């Protein structure tokens, strides 16, 4: 099939690469000329395991191309996926200006039947807005062209997006058209062989499903952080509690790990957008608001523990392991590390930080400053540091090297926002080890 994708960010690039790998002919379009030039040179602007190799193979096979030409993209695809960003507005709503702009451009160039699909995370009613934008542009041209609009939300985890796309739990399509259903079955046939994962539903339900999924996962995380904070105050071990409740099949073990809060491009933005949308339709949603309130408070716990353990952080040097919001990505959007660094700098501390993938992103965000030193290894981050804060559970941080930590940390203070180590072992080794919801 010939497929056009608008937006070469995380969702658009992964979607385009995986569809091309399956044999479709994909043209990815973006208005960012520099990004398209980099992609045409084989440079991948994001870190996602396996993505670079797939892009290289598909570009070589001429099944995947990149362009800044809107008209070329519209003319290419029978399926037109909108995968542009929907950032948060000041009031928390999803900013749909990029989605609407793409819809208008499609209408200005469309000359034969196509299906326009919203792949971006968008509030209920967006597909109808897209339909209106395309229709208005066609009317402005004085032409009549048949087209359909459908919802096909993505469910990709950063760091595991290739696996998620190739082996999906479900493929949700919102449409009332049998013609669209047939085309989507054809599109996703390579990913739907073991058993039928396609779920067709009405468009509003498909749009709401994406928000509901992210809202539920974020709720589990915030709930476990609340339990962890209670455990700290009563001497309980949240790890034992986690195993105790996770064994219940109604709850399960996924997304019940306490820590220093969630981040990334989805959960914070989508929770705000869902709460805003609920208000717009006349429903007060206190639980949804509370999930984000709890998360923001949880992000401040690392600083509070460091400040208390050191008797103040002014003039101190703090080592930070992990800058990305989760492992296997370089994404620092809403990452807990950013909240911690901001608090440390405000209190007069200096930061020495290391991350396996997010160093360039951190440099672009903060530039050169006297109170931030980005180093090339986890060992270098410890040099002369008064304390260590762990913000991301990268695999290379999991192996405990007591001698390394003891020889570098002046105050032997470790604040672990991801509960990587055993508290008893750390205490016996002479560390003041402060984690999340565990004794000590």
Determine contact, residues 16/5, Cβ cutoff 8 Å: yes
* Ramachandran area for residue 324 (φ above 0: left; ψ -120 to 50: alpha; else beta): beta
Residue linked to tokens 């807005």: 129
Please pick, among 18, 28, 187, 266, the residue that the annotation labels catalytic.
266
Asked if 77 and 114 touch (Cβ cutoff 8 Å), the reply is yes
Find all residues with CB under 8 Å of 389, minimum gap 6, and list them: 302, 306, 318, 319, 320, 321, 340, 414, 415, 416, 417
The Cα–Cα gap between 147 and 156 comes to 27
Nearest to 243 by CA among 257, 222, 259, 229: 257
Strand partners, 174: 151, 201
Task: Assess whether 266 carries a catalytic annotation.
Answer: yes
Q: Which residue has the tokens 């064994």?
A: 247
Residues 260 and 221: their CA atoms lie apart, in Å, by 10
Instruction: Check if the beta carbon of residue 398 is closer than 8 Å to that of residue 377.
Output: no
Burial class for 41, CB neighbours closer than 10 Å (0-12, 13-18, 19+): exposed
The DSSP string of 89-148 is PTTS-B--HHHHHHHHHHHHH--S-EEEEE-S---TTHHHHHHHHHHHHHHHHT----EE
Mention every residue, 6+ apart, whose C-beta is less than 8 A from residue 75. Answer: 109, 111
Measure the CA–CA gap between 253 and 389, rounded to whole angstroms: 26
Q: Tokens standing for 283? A: 């429903």
> Residues with Cβ < 8 Å from 363, sequence gap 6 or more?
374
Residues annotated as part of the active site: 266
């Amino acid at each position: 099939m010939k497929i056009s994708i608008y937006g070469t960010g995380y969702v658009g690039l992964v979607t385009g690469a995986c569809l091309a790998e399956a044999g479709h002919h994909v043209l990815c379009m973006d208005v960012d000329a520099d990004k398209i030039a980099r992609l045409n040179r084989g440079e991948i602007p994001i870190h996602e395991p396996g993505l670079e190799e797939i892009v290289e193979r598909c570009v070589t096979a001429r099944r995947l191309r990149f362009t800044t030409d809107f008209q070329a993209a519209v003319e290419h695809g029978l399926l037109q996926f909108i995968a542009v960003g929907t950032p948060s507005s000041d009031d928390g709503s999803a900013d749909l200006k990029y989605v609407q702009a793409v819809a208008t451009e499609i209408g200005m160039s469309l000359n034969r039947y196509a299906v326009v699909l919203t792949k971006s995370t968008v509030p209920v009613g967006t597909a109808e807005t897209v339909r209106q934008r395309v229709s208005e542009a066609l009317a402005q041209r004085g032409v009549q062209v048949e087209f359909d609009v459908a919802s096909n939300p993505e469910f990709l985890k950063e760091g595991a997006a290739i696996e998620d796309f190739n082996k999906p739990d479900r493929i949700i399509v919102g449409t009332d058209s049998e013609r669209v259903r047939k085309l989507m079955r054809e599109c996703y046939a390579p990913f739907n062989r073991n058993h039928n994962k396609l779920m067709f539903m009405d468009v509003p339900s498909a749009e709401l499903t994406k928000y509901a999924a992210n809202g539920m996962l974020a709720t589990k995380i915030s709930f476990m952080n609340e339990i962890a904070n209670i455990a700290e105050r009563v001497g309980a071990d949240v790890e034992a509690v986690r195993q105790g409740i996770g064994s219940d099949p109604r709850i399960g073990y996924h997304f019940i790990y306490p820590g220093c809060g969630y981040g990334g491009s989805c959960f914070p933005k989508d929770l705000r957008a869902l709460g805003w949308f609920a208000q717009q339709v006349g429903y007060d949603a206190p639980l949804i608001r509370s999930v984000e309130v709890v998360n923001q408070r949880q992000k401040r716990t690392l600083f509070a523990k460091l400040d208390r353990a050191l008797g103040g952080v002014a003039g101190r040097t703090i080592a930070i392991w992990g800058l990305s919001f989760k492992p296997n990505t370089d994404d620092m959007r809403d990452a807990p590390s950013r909240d911690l660094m901001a608090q440390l700098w405000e209190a007069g501390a200096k930061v020495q930080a290391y991350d396996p993938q997010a160093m360039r992103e951190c440099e672009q965000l903060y530039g050169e400053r006297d109170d931030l030193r980005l180093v090339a290894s986890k060992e270098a981050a410890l040099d002369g540091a008064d304390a260590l804060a762990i913000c991301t559970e990268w695999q290379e941080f999991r192996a405990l090297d007591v001698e390394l930590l003891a020889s570098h940390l002046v105050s032997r203070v470790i604040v672990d926002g991801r509960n990587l180590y055993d508290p008893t072992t750390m205490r016996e080794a002479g560390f003041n080890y402060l984690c999340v919801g565990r004794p000590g």
